[in-house]
């Protein structure tokens, strides 16, 4: 793992953002607006609460959405942890040295002020997301 990574959020695959969010909002969390991210083919929103980690809710737009298979296999569940990185290309290179496979080239994320993201996978660690720092 790269030293000095900053935890950003944990991502949950959900069937319906509002249905899942209601559990959290009833417990004092605040739901952000729901973004339609055409690049990721998903609807995305964030749950915030002081003193707790940021939670990302990711719902499929259609059957081609990346979270469809996660939902079929695991149901509503956490599926990635996101870390903020200083320089995306360097961070990806370092993770490749540790046998992580980037799933795509970095893309802009609508729900994260168009900052670049990239998912990486390692069979011993699972799926992580990198978010390039502003």
Query: Given the structure tokens 């609460």, which residue do they identify?
Result: 49
On whether the CB atoms of residues 20 and 65 are closer than 8 A, the answer is no
104 lies in a domain? yes
78 lies in a domain? yes
56 lies in a domain? yes
Query: What would the pLDDT profile of 3-14 be if each residue is shown by its tens digit?
Result: 778 999 999 999
What CATH number is attached to the domain comprising 125? Answer: 3.10.180.10
In b/e form, how buried is each residue of 101-124, taking b as 16+ CB within 10 angstroms? ebeeebeebbbbeebbbbbbeeee
Calculate ∠ Cα 59-121-112, nearest 5°.
45
Question: Average per-residue pLDDT in the chain?
Answer: 95
Segments forming the whole domain that contains residue 75: 6-132
| Model pLDDT, residue 1 | 67
| Model pLDDT, residue 132 | 96
63 lies in a domain? yes
Mean local confidence (pLDDT), 57-72: 95
Query: Given the structure tokens 């939670």, which residue do they identify?
Result: 55
| Model pLDDT, residue 64 | 93
Q: How far apart are CA 61 and CA 48, in angstroms?
A: 23
What percentage of the chain reaches a pLDDT higher than 90? 92
Centre a 10 Å sphere on the Cβ of residue 133 and count the other Cβ atoms it contains. 13
Q: How many domains does the chain have?
A: 1
Query: What would the pLDDT profile of 21-35 be if each residue is shown by its tens digit?
Result: 999 999 999 999 999
Mean local confidence (pLDDT), 51-62: 97
1 lies in a domain? no
73 lies in a domain? yes
Query: What would the pLDDT profile of 65-97 be if each residue is shown by its tens digit?
Result: 989 999 999 999 999 999 999 999 999 999 999
């Amino acid at each position: 793992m790269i030293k000095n990574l900053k935890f950003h959020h944990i991502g949950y695959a959900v069937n319906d953002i509002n249905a899942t969010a209601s559990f959290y909002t009833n417990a004092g969390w605040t739901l952000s607006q729901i973004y339609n991210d055409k690049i990721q083919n998903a609807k995305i929103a964030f749950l915030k609460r002081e003193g707790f980690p940021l939670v990302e809710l990711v719902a499929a737009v259609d059957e081609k959405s990346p979270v469809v298979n996660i939902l079929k296999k695991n149901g509503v569940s956490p599926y990635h942890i996101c870390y903020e990185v200083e320089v995306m290309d360097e961070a990806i290179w370092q993770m490749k040295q540790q046998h992580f496979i980037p799933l795509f080239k970095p893309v802009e994320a609508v729900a994260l002020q168009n900052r670049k993201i990239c998912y990486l996978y390692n069979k011993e660690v699972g799926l992580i997301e990198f978010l390039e720092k502003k």
